[in-house]
Amino acid sequence: MRLIWIWPLWVVLIIALAGLCVCWLGWRDVRRREGAARIWGRRGLMVLAVAALGAGPAVATELPQVETNVEVYVVVDTTGSMGAEDYNGTNPRTDGVRADITAIAGSYPGARFSVIRFDSEATVQLPLTTDVRAVQSWVETFQLEYAYGSSGSSVNRASGLLTDTLKRSAEERPENIRAVYFFSDGEATDQAANLEVEFSEAGNYTSGGAVLGYGTEEGGRMRVSEGGSSESYIQDPATGDDAISRIDEIDLGKVAERLGVPYVHRTQPGIDNSVLLGGIEDLQDQLGSGHTYNPVLWPIALVMVALAIWEIVDVVPRVRGAFEARRGMREGANGVGS
């Protein structure tokens, strides 16, 4: 058993010391009265019980932990076109991205994850970590680039950063397997940055994964703000009508070819696990063990309830006696007055 400190140590100490000091002062003032030691001793025990709750006594539970030699790199297109409403009907493409990343994270227990986003520039959002909750938190909260502030889109934006990241990992941990999952609609509005699809060098360090494409040939409109917080749609400056974003499966296919992974067109929820695993077969699972500590507070709660009942049973007769004595005094005073 160990203490996990539900409250900070200094808070527990203040409660215990201040409470016991008050109990001691209370006992000192009435120590000659019958039962004073019992009453204030009981109250001191109540103070200690509260402090014990804050200390959080806990018992260890052994849990199996699986570690693998897999590193999963999640590369996400966050340009405004990923908010186009043509996924699974008229939902934004980001709905599919969020669902698919969640499914992938669940397919690699014990793996290390990294997240790279790209729009006007590419940045590492999450360095390699085994904390799947951190990945999920990013997935739930990421926002798309503001469309009117964008410098144009290109699938190549992520190429350099991804290549450098994979290369560095391969040099530091050559025994590991690296899987890359690339999420994009492939649309390019910055023609100068999209003369030729790159990623060939990144493919030298990639053992599996997939390129997942979102959108349709018919395309979809894009709201000015992601998530429906704005009712207005992005306008095409050439026509004045609502701008339409369409998937570019040709460029997405080239990215997949250069990375050496399959391309999958994503139009609705649900994806085959064989696609998610990207053909990776030689996973090196290492089964270890870890501990989690579960607080055991119910015995302290029972002690507190027992002490509270004792306090009530002990105090009620004295309160009743004091009330009756006061009433007798009032009645006596009324009798004298009459």
CB count within 10 Å of CB 198 equals 21
Looking at the domain covering 69-284, what would its CATH class be? Answer: alpha beta
CATH 3.40.50.410 domain residues, the chain? 69-284
Q: How many residues does the chain have?
A: 338
pLDDT digits (tens, 9 = 90+) for 26-52: 999 988 888 889 999 999 999 999 999
Tell me the whole-structure pTM to 2 decimals. 0.64
Q: Is 80 exceeded by the pLDDT of residue 215?
A: yes
Q: What integer is the mean pLDDT of 134-145?
A: 92
Tell me which of 38-47, 53-62, 181-190, 297-306 is least confident: 53-62
What is the pLDDT of the chain when averaged over all its residues? 85
pLDDT tier at 210, thresholds 50, 70, 90: very high
pLDDT of 287 reads 43
pLDDT of 17 reads 95
pLDDT of 67 reads 65
pLDDT digits (tens, 9 = 90+) for 77-115: 999 899 999 999 999 999 999 999 999 988 888 889 999
Q: Is 80 exceeded by the pLDDT of residue 12?
A: yes
Q: Is 90 exceeded by the pLDDT of residue 193?
A: no
Percent of the chain, pLDDT > 90?
51
- Contact between 100 and 111 under an 8 Å Cβ cutoff? The reply is no
pLDDT digits (tens, 9 = 90+) for 245-296: 999 999 999 999 999 999 999 999 887 766 666 555 555 444 444 556 788 8
Q: Which residues of 113-148 are buried (b: 16+ CB within 10 A; e: fewer)?
A: bbbbbbbbebeebbebeeebeebbebbeebebbebe
Q: What integer is the mean pLDDT of 42-64?
A: 86
pLDDT tier at 236, thresholds 50, 70, 90: confident
Q: What integer is the mean pLDDT of 199-209?
A: 92
Token pair belonging to 290: 């870890």
pLDDT tier at 75, thresholds 50, 70, 90: very high
pLDDT tier at 154, thresholds 50, 70, 90: confident
pLDDT of 329 reads 76
Start-to-end C-alpha separation, the chain: 70
Between 245 and 333, whose confidence is greater?
Answer: 245
pLDDT of 169 reads 94
pLDDT tier at 299, thresholds 50, 70, 90: very high
Please name the residue that has the structure tokens 């964008």. 150
- Contact between 184 and 96 under an 8 Å Cβ cutoff? The reply is no
Ramachandran angles phi, psi of 196, nearest 5°? -155, 135
The alpha-helical segments, DSSP class H, found in 31-92 are 36-55
Instruction: Measure the CA–CA gap between 186 and 257, rounded to whole angstroms.
Output: 14
pLDDT of 318 reads 76
